[in-house]
Structure 1
Amino acid sequence: MAGVLDSVNQRTQLVGQNRLELLLFRLDGPQLYGINVFKVKEVLQCPKLVVMPKSSPVVRGVANIRGGTLPILDLSLATGRRGLDDIKNSFVIITEYNYKVQGFLVRSVERIVNMNWESIHPPPKGTGRSHYLTAVTRVDDKLVEIIDVEKILAEVAPTSETISEGVVSSETQARAMSRKVLIVDDSSVARKQVKRCLESVGLEVVALNDGRQALGYLHELLDAGKQPTDEFLMMISDIEMPEMDGYTLTAEVRHDPRMQKLHILLHTSLSGVFNQAMVKKVGADDFLPKFKPDELASRVVERINAVHGS
């Protein structure tokens, strides 16, 4: 697996082209799963695991990898299936989400495929709310399921959603009244986290599931004679989304003179140094890794005060 990852520069060339690369893997059966290569740091044969008392059953143990101790999560267990049996012959996908590094235990790793986000679709209607999918696609006429890793991590290690005292003043809350924010994210967990945070500030929220849906919604406003900049204080968008990613959504908004001044914050679990450059490339105003309620609230407060000239 030494050749699984190329340089960051090669990966970032996909940005703004509505493309991604998926690392395909399998769990306890023939079903194929995918994870965005941007989130993968390394793939290796499962190392020796040390079981930690009182840890979540999903955490099969911790491993010492390159001088650091990482939790290893069994993706099969995490998604409601039976745990993987033959750990020694399994693989670990080392990932980085929200500046936290962890390993995901999988049975086998297949290959990397380059795809267009337009080929990535939301889970079929009727799958209910208990599934762990953010999207599905097809590769070589085989269904590939893309797992909602944010939901898994939120269940294994819940993140506080409470804003610290003093971050939002009563004056700011008063200014926030009757102001709306558009949030765009394919993860139901992420949408709920951001919505609760913004409502604590005093804002109204319109929440949409992906970039194509958001762009269509903005065009509907324009067709109705409404200006998005009058309707919304700002737009907070995820980057990874089916149909249309956040980079492409931002670029499309910036290419339309009627929406060029809409304030856009890209809010993503894709933590990495390349993001700041990509934010500038597509014309977003700001970038923030998920999910830190104080930092998100602070950015929103800055925007409220900027609009009110304070």
Structure 2
Amino acid sequence: MSGKTKQSQKLLLFQLAGTRLFGLGTLKIREILPMMPLTKLPQSHHAVIGTATFRGSAVPVIDMASAVGYPPLTPEERESASIIITDVQRQEIGFLVRGVRQIIEADWKHVMPPPKALGSKAFITGLLDVEGDIIQLLDVELLLAKVYPESLDAKEVMLTDIQSETLKSLNILLVDDSQVARKQLSDVLDSKDISYQVTSNGDEALQILLKEDELGRPIDILVSDIEMPGLDGYELTFNVRDNSSLSQPYIILHTSLNSEMSLSYANQVGANEALTKFDAEELLQAMLRGAGQTE
């Protein structure tokens, strides 16, 4: 790879409660709409306030403030609120927010991991300082898992004995900043007694790759998220491919983004495959394809 291509990373900034700003990657966003009449959904989660009609389809709308633990928007506040239509994890979801501020350019290298003191229940994957304002990047996967817990139910995937033994022989590294995504990935491999290593950011992943190489047990399969603090998945892939002394793993970029642009860029930086979260069978089949190329 000759020179490093840098894809512009953009964040939509918005408010949920008070003046605090939150951020969401624009690659997840389909459209921003003003508040509209919603159709009520019986027996739904308290944060699901109804469905909106978007391009002929019924899209569930979640009061994001309520979903992450803030007071829900009042009827008066909803009148001036906005609905962010997103495309994540193979589904369209609308998020009601108090107000949309602006779109900014963001360098993921400057995104800081959230403090560990926040605990595992914080809906934050990173923090970004923008001209003195600390922007909180929301963990949409965790939010959706809380609203739709059934989405975490693992689906049984059938493997032949040969396929299972093939995967057990590999040195696999998983990297994702979302605790929900890490659990989904881990559960799939644990169910098949396949060993692996897992980390929450690209910087640590690169160090693991280098260390395993030095120890003579190079990583065979690298499964990485795209949007992460520090080294994002694109830059992690580029750094691996640009290091001629490093054994080259089969790289699967695994992302909640459905954007064709993001998946195309994954191939440009050297990823072997790019998959949309979360389909256990697709992931295991991709790993098996990788096994065929690492033999």
User: If the length of structure 2 is used for normalisation, what is the TM-score?
Assistant: 0.92
Q: Report the more deviating stretch, 37-46 or 259-268.
A: 259-268
Partner of 1:79: 68
Give ranges in structure 1 of 5+ residues lacking alignment: 1-14
Aligned to 2:99: 108
Q: Distance in 2 between matches of 1:277 and 1:90?
A: 34
> Paired residue for 1:292?
279
2:48 pairs with one of 30, 55, 59: 59
Alpha-carbon spacing, 1:35–1:165, altered in 2? closer, same or farther (3 Å): closer
Pair 202,18 (structure 1): closer, same or farther in 2 beyond 3 Å: farther
Residue 159 (structure 1) aligned with residue 159 (structure 2): no
CA distance in structure 1 between the aligned counterparts of 2:230 and 2:265, rounded to whole angstroms: 19
Match of 1:4 in 2: none
- What corresponds to 2:198 in structure 1? 207
Map 1:6-21 → 2, pairs under 5 A = 16-17=5-6, 19-21=8-10
Q: How many correspondences in the alignment?
A: 289
Deviations 1:162-213 (A, max 9, x none): 34353x1122223333533101100011011001112223321111111122
Per-residue displacement from partner, 1:210-266 (whole Å, max 9, x unpaired)?
A: 1122112223344xx335xx4323000000000111001000100001236211000
Shift in Å, 1:71:
0.5
Offset from partner CA, 1:2-50 (integer Å, 9 cap, x none) = xxxxxxxxxxxxx942752110000121110000011111111111111
Asked if the contact 1:122/1:242 (under 8 Å) is kept, the reply is yes
Match for residue 188 of structure 2 among 197, 210, 220: 197
3-state DSSP class of the match of 2:185?
helix
Alignment partner of 1:41 is 2:30: yes
1:54–1:163 distance in 2 versus 1, CA, 3 Å? closer
CA contact (8 A) 1:64 1:70 kept: yes
1:69 aligns with 2:61: no
Report the residue type matching 2:182 in the other structure.
R
Q: Does 1:237 align with 2:224?
A: yes
- Taking structure 1 as reference, are residues 54 and 16 closer, same or farther at Cα in structure 2, changes over 3 Å only? farther
Query: For the structure 1 residues 130 and 277, does the alpha-carbon distance in structure 2 shift closer, same or farther, using more than 3 Å as the test?
Result: closer
- Gaps spanning 5+ residues in structure 2: where? none
User: Would you identify which runs of 4 or more consecutive aligned residues in structure 1 move more than 6 Å?
Assistant: none
Structure 2 counterpart of 1:117, from 102, 108, 114: 108
Partner of residue 267, structure 1: 254
Distance 2:108 2:240 in 1: 17
Residues in 2 aligned to 1:253 and 1:184: alpha-carbon distance in whole angstroms: 14
TM-score by length of 1: 0.87
The separation in 1 between residues aligned to 2:250 and 2:157, in whole angstroms, is: 26
Q: Secondary structure at the match of 2:126?
A: strand
1:290 is matched by which residue type in structure 2?
K
Match of 1:174 among 165, 178, 189: 165
1:255 corresponds in structure 2 to 242
Pairwise CA RMSD: 1.9
Structure 1 residues 127-184: Cα deviation after superposition (integer angstroms, max 9, x where no partner)? 1111111111111201111110001112222325534353x11222233335331011
Separation (CA, whole Å) in 2 of partners of 1:122 and 1:210: 9
Distance across 1 between alignment mates of 2:16 and 2:253:
31
